């Protein structure tokens, strides 16, 4: 597959994926059929939910959206942000899974099961590993687990919340503000949007795929003992896990202010959908809406392969680096999402800022692939650098870069 540069303006370079044509996506018309191919009608979805969003993670396509930018209290869906921060620290080597934190008397009094909502039943003085706290945080929505992770990592819940907001800003969650690590009502400080939650879930799954598999689909958690010394076993709070084929995360939420909410994901036949429903009136309404939305997404839409994982799709120039350019590739298989029966074509363009400034990290996002099917909005997925480029100010590197700019070699 070949790429050719088609536009460079204001530092933004666009590269056309020339090999992708209508013929790649659309079946050829039958012999003798003079009628041109037309895109299928966009599938209809009707809902009474006030906030709904559904995204195909493999193409970036937003399949349905209502109230996606409205800010609301996320309740325990906040814990996905807490999980992202913790997993990021583990990935950077700044936190170990087997590191243990001790439940203090003060935290226990604040967050035990009789006063602090959902709990994994930690005891005062108990030492618990980061790994087990993550399981309690995600599987049974332990408010005590969130508080202990926050205090153990940064010394206090407040300090950890500052870290959460910093990371959220780095992820581009521009509508979100966190006031607690667990989503407990805080006078209206903690607010998010469905679009931001989708961004968070998408990044968590992409950035930490092994950890996502490790923590988000545990069917039940055993931790602690009841007064009669029997083990305490709690089921996963995910309402569609085990009910909807392919469901594997993420997190529910409920408060009087937020209603019944759910940030969920499922994977079928190589496609991953991520959804948010919020403001539902009951657990049943939340579960039914989530299942119906996911079923519609998988049954009424289909994904068609644009490029396999690891496909080099172009190059971007680099300034001040040990190499004059960096190759750009697909980190995962990239698909275009279209209605079932779609017979139109599409155009694919790589967009990235050029030149990049060194250093450029390996596997760091440096561009987007923008795929626009006939009659549908653009679908955007990230592209990454195939290798790292270190920064340098050597005369040889500057000369080589200048020669490359002049000759393209």
65 carries an active-site annotation: no
Beta strand extents in 85-216 (DSSP E only)? 100-102, 127-129
176 carries an active-site annotation: no
Residues paired with residue 66 on neighbouring β-strands, in sequence order: 52
Which of the residues 55, 59, 76, 193 is marked catalytic? 76
Which of the residues 79, 118, 176, 265 is marked catalytic? 79
Burial (Cβ within 10 Å: 0-12, 13-18, ≥19) of residue 285:
middle
Which of the residues 55, 59, 135, 141 is marked catalytic? 141
Q: How far apart are CA 321 and CA 366, in angstroms?
A: 15
Residues paired with residue 216 on neighbouring β-strands, in sequence order: none
Q: How far apart are CA 50 and CA 279, in angstroms?
A: 6
Burial (Cβ within 10 Å: 0-12, 13-18, ≥19) of residue 331:
middle
Q: How far apart are CA 106 and CA 55, in angstroms?
A: 41
Of 161, 155, 109, 118, residue with least CA distance to 138: 118
Q: How far apart are CA 253 and CA 74, in angstroms?
A: 6
CB 61 within 8 A of CB 273: no
141 carries an active-site annotation: yes
Q: What contacts 24+ positions apart, CB below 8 Å, involve 189-192?
A: 190/73, 190/74, 190/78, 191/71, 191/72, 191/73, 191/74, 192/71, 192/72, 192/74, 192/77, 192/78
Of 301, 292, 236, 307, residue with least CA distance to 268: 301
Residues 6+ apart with CB under 8 A from 382: 206, 331, 365, 367, 368, 369
What SS3 string covers 21-80?
CHHHHCCCCCCCCCCCCCCCCCCCCCCCCCEEEEEECCCCEEEEEECCCCCECCHHHHHH
Q: Per the structure block, which two tokens stand in for 384?
A: 């990454």
The neighbour count for residue 83, using CB atoms within 10 Å, is 26
> From the DSSP assignment, how many helices (H) and strands (E) are in the chain?
10, 19
Catalytic residue numbers, as ranges: 76, 79, 141
């Amino acid at each position: 597959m070949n790429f050719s540069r088609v536009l460079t303006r204001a530092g933004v370079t666009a590269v056309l994926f020339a090999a992708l044509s209508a013929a790649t996506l659309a079946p050829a018309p039958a012999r003798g059929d003079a009628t041109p191919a037309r895109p299928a009608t966009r599938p209809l979805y009707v809902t009474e939910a006030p906030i709904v969003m559904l995204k195909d993670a493999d193409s970036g396509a937003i399949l349905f959206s209502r109230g996606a930018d409205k800010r609301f209290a996320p309740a325990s869906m906040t814990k996905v942000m807490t999980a992202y921060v913790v997993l990021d620290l583990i990935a950077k080597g700044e936190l170990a899974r087997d590191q243990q934190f001790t439940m203090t008397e003060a935290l226990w009094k604040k967050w035990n099961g009789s006063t602090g909502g959902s709990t994994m039943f930690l005891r005062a003085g108990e030492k618990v590993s980061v790994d087990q706290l993550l399981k309690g945080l995600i599987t049974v929505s332990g408010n005590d687990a969130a508080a202990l992770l926050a205090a153990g990592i940064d010394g206090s819940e407040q300090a950890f919340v500052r870290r959460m907001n910093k990371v959220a800003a780095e992820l581009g969650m521009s509508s979100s503000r966190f006031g607690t690590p667990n989503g407990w009502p805080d006078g209206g400080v903690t607010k998010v949007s469905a679009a931001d939650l989708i961004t968070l879930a998408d990044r968590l799954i992409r950035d930490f795929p092994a950890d996502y598999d490790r923590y988000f689909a545990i069917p039940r958690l055993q931790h602690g003992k009841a007064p009669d010394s029997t083990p305490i076993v709690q089921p996963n709070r995910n309402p569609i896990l085990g009910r909807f084929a392919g469901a594997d995360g993420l997190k529910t939420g409920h408060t009087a202010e937020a209603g019944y909410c759910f940030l969920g994901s499922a994977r079928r036949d190589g496609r991953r959908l991520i959804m948010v429903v919020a403001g539902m009136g009951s657990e049943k309404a939340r579960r039914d809406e989530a299942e119906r939305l996911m079923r519609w997404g998988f049954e009424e839409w289909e994904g068609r392969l644009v490029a396999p994982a690891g496909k080099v799709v172009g190059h971007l120039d680099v300034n001040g680096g040990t190499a004059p350019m960096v190759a750009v590739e697909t980190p995962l298989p990239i698909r275009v999402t279209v209605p079932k029966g779609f017979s139109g074509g599409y155009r694919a363009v790589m967009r990235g800022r050029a030149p990049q400034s060194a250093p450029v990290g390996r596997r760091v996002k440096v561009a987007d692939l923008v795929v626009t099917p006939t009659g549908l909005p653009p679908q955007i997925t990230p592209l990454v650098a195939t290798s790292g480029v270190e920064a340098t100010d050597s005369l040889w590197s500057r000369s080589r870069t200048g020669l490359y700019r002049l000759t393209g070699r």
